[in-house]
Structure 1
Amino acid sequence: MPFALPQALGFARAGETSATAPACRMGLGLAAVGRPGYINLGREQDLPPVRSVDALRARTHELLDAAYAQGVRYVDAARSYGRSEEFLADWLKARPGTGDVVVGSKWGYTYTAGWRTDADQHEVKDHSVAAYERQHAESAALLGDRLDLYQIHSVTPDSPALTDTELHARLAEAAAEGLTIGFSTSGPAQAEAIRAALAVTVDGEPLFRTVQSTYNVLETSAAPALAEAHDAGLTVIVKEGMANGRLAGPHAPDPLKAVAARTSLGCDAVALAAILRRPWAGVVLSGAATTEQLASNLHAVVVGLDEDQLARLEDLAEDPRVYWERRGRLPWR
């Protein structure tokens, strides 16, 4: 099966030296701007007063323009991120010179909020073959052959996607046609889910070529499993590096603020820089909702952190059950 994502981006694979890695290992995630409601802190200030489809389409395109101009070449969307695929598809069509952008999306959640922030339910999880076929067709209708990476959204240890051999066969067929297949994880048992996914094979070959997991200075529990995934040849994509805004400016813990003050850069850049220091981290996503946030996030690639500073940040790690319980209480805004 093809392994297109690392070659397209130039990321170092297992056994390669860091000298082969590109200057920019940052990607742009569209979770915060593809729909009017999300769980990031500070959204009241980040988004326009009227969060119409046209307003968020314009904001998404503004972010994509800024990201591309600053060297970002990976963009991450999902079926459940409202109209993120549609917005991205429109941008790609309007800018034919962006053929070097690697496009990833995810299936497994259906957006159900109806463009409202006060919906009782914003998304519904379904990892069945039927859901895959429906959502793959929807993604393909919007993105066509620009879709490079298709990921199962938020795999957990009890997900049927880990054991459904019919689903595995369908995903392997898509891989044989040139699509890179990956998975993302969420929840306090991310490490268990990653290791289970690494064991999934079709005809003796590993099914998955990428893994996207939550990792930040507050939630570090997946690190050993992500290192194993990297060593097995998967590209590791890190999401929620800002912990849904908990590591940004006014919300950041004091030790992070202290380290940021010594670097003369923002807490966000320092938090993301700590992830970039991990040898297994291939792509680190910015979830910026404004171009100012994006520019600040991208400063992470030039932040120098010494061992003492890294140790202070490592001390911020929470028990994963506590972290995910707190995340689950964040309101959709």
Structure 2
Amino acid sequence: MPFARLATATTPTCHIGLGLAAVGRPGYINLGRDRDLGEDRSVEAMRERTHDLLDAAYAQGVRYFDVARSYGRSEEFLAAWLAARPDADDVVVGSKWGYTYTAGWSAEAERHEVKDHGLATYERQRAETDALLGDRLDLYQIHSLTPDSPALTDKELHAKLAEAAERGLTVGFSTSGPAQADTIRAALAVTVDDKPLFRTVQSTYNVLETSAGPALAEAHDAGLTVIVKEGMANGRLAEPHAPDVLKGVAEETTQGCDAVALAAVLRQPWAGVVLSGAATVTQLGSNLHATVVDLDDDQLTRLGTLAEDPRAYWERRGRLPWH
């Protein structure tokens, strides 16, 4: 599996990946984007920002980069960076299909993405991804599975995904919503010719939303690589929005709230790669400090009190504005 290459990275930051959801398009739901991005969100400005982030991440040992068809021009930006960096042949690249970007490079669009897990969308988006990333693509994931997704039962789609896996592509899935655990367990049961179809799972997990933890442990025990997204809860765990408990622990560790929040995720024994969604090089550097944060049992217990009911968490996330 391509994720074995992460073990050859030279620093502990190989366990942190960089997701480009926040910089591949002008609008997103992360808090603080006005401060982070400013007014210039032209394609050229966002491309330069993305390349600066990729340069900084690679220099500091990050080896997994995460994009998606719905993340605006994220695949395009990453492909251009890879073409200019032939030395980065140890990078692992993951993308996702299942959402189509519809905002037309506007932060004020009425609708930013449209979900469709049908076979026709897979084949169209697979061709689009291949045109940009070609053989640099290591992992292709179904984007945001939920228990009612037809992708869990579509045998024709499963056969196509299995064919891609036979040709060397790793096939995975990501999850969203309050029933992530149910989705993970349903996906673990999907087989083709009595062989498990999926080799990776990417789920939301942070100190506010811990409900997927037991199912992610089961996935890890079943041999899947676990990728954690939204470890910062879309900015809710960063200054100045972080809850007081997190601020208190951060003060004790002399690190930022973001580093502590990500460190709590890294402590999970099933966590293979934890994504940073940094929008600036400064944020990225602070996020990477998570690898040196040593949380004791008392601090972990206090952080554990922050967990919310998953339905309340996802309802609040659904109300976050695109900006």
On whether the aligned pair clears a TM of 0.5, the verdict is: yes
Q: Which amino acid aligns with 1:163?
A: T
Q: 2:78 aligns with which of 80, 85, 88?
A: 88
Contact 1:35 / 1:115 at 8 angstroms: preserved in 2? yes
Name the structure 1 match of 2:51. Answer: 61
Q: Which amino acid aligns with 2:6?
A: L
SS at 1:152's partner residue? strand
Cα shift readout 1:169-190 (whole Å, capped 9, x = no counterpart)? 0000000000000000000000
TM-score scaled by length of structure 2? 0.98
Say if 2:319 is the partner of 1:322.
Answer: no
Say if 2:61 is the partner of 1:71.
Answer: yes
Cα shift readout 1:243-284 (whole Å, capped 9, x = no counterpart)? 000000100000000000000000000000000000000000
Aligned partners of 1:324, 1:5: CA distance in 2, in Å? Answer: 32
Say if 2:123 is the partner of 1:133.
Answer: yes
SS at 2:138's partner residue? strand
Identity of aligned residues (%): 79
Question: Runs of 5+ in structure 2 lacking a partner?
Answer: none
Contact 2:204 / 2:229 at 8 angstroms: preserved in 1? yes
Name the structure 2 match of 1:9. Answer: 6
SS at 2:185's partner residue? helix
Cα shift readout 1:99-146 (whole Å, capped 9, x = no counterpart)? 000000000000000000111100000000000000000000000000
Cα shift readout 1:268-324 (whole Å, capped 9, x = no counterpart)? 000000000000000000000000000000000000000000000000000000000
Name the structure 2 match of 1:197. Answer: 187
Say if 2:108 is the partner of 1:109.
Answer: no
Aligned partners of 1:5, 1:189: CA distance in 2, in Å? Answer: 29
Name the structure 2 match of 1:303. Answer: 293
Contact 1:9 / 1:22 at 8 angstroms: preserved in 2? no
Per-residue deviation, 1:22 = 5.4
Taking the TM superposition and a 5 Å limit, the aligned residue runs for 1:135-154 are 135-154=125-144
Per-residue deviation, 1:24 = 2.9
Contact 1:185 / 1:193 at 8 angstroms: preserved in 2? yes
Q: 1:273 aligns with which of 260, 263, 278?
A: 263
TM-score scaled by length of structure 1? 0.95
CA 1:8 to 1:24, structure 2 compared with 1: closer, same or farther past 3 Å?
Answer: closer
Name the structure 2 match of 1:292. Answer: 282
Aligned partners of 1:22, 1:132: CA distance in 2, in Å? Answer: 35
Aligned partners of 1:177, 1:284: CA distance in 2, in Å? Answer: 27
SS at 1:133's partner residue? helix
Aligned length: 321
SS at 2:14's partner residue? coil
Q: 1:119 aligns with which of 84, 109, 112?
A: 109
Contact 1:128 / 1:167 at 8 angstroms: preserved in 2? yes
Q: Which amino acid aligns with 2:279?
A: A
Per-residue deviation, 1:49 = 1.6
Question: Runs of 5+ in structure 1 lacking a partner?
Answer: 12-20
Aligned partners of 1:186, 1:39: CA distance in 2, in Å? Answer: 15
Aligned partners of 2:38, 2:16: CA distance in 1, in Å? Answer: 25
CA RMSD in angstroms, aligned pairs only:
1.0
